[in-house]
Amino acid sequence: MIDPDSTRQAKGISILLVDDHPVVRQGYRRVLEHQSDFRVVAEADNAVNAYRAFKTHAPDIVVMDISMPGASGLEAIRNIRLRHSGSRILVFSMHSEAALVKAAFSAGASGYVTKSSEPAALIKAIRAVARGEHAMSDDIAHVLAMESLSPSGSVLDQLGEREIEILRQLAGGATAEQIASNLNLSIKTVQNYHYLIKTKTGMRTDAQLVRLAVECGLASL
* Residue pLDDT, tens place only, 179-200: 999 888 999 999 999 999 999 9
* Residue pLDDT, tens place only, 125-147: 999 999 999 999 999 999 888 87
Spatial separation of the C-alpha atoms in residues 171 and 142, rounded to whole Å = 27
Scanning 45-160, the segments in alpha helix (DSSP H) are 47-57, 73-83, 98-107, 119-130, 138-149
Spatial separation of the C-alpha atoms in residues 68 and 21, rounded to whole Å = 9
Q: What is the pLDDT of residue 152?
A: 62
* Residue pLDDT, tens place only, 54-101: 999 999 999 999 888 888 888 899 999 988 999 999 999 988 888 889
Q: What is the pLDDT of residue 7?
A: 47
3-state secondary structure of 111: strand
3-state secondary structure of 39: strand
Q: What is the pLDDT of residue 167?
A: 92
Quickly count: other Cβ atoms within 10 Å of residue 1's Cβ. Answer: 3
Q: What is the pLDDT of residue 33?
A: 92
In this structure, the chain runs to a length of: 221
Q: What is the pLDDT of residue 178?
A: 93
Q: What is the pLDDT of residue 5?
A: 54
Q: What is the pLDDT of residue 216?
A: 78
- Torsion (CA) 25, 29, 30, 34 in degrees, nearest 10: 160
**112 and 91 Cβ atoms separated by less than 8 Å:** yes
Q: What is the pLDDT of residue 2?
A: 43
- pTM listed for this prediction: 0.80
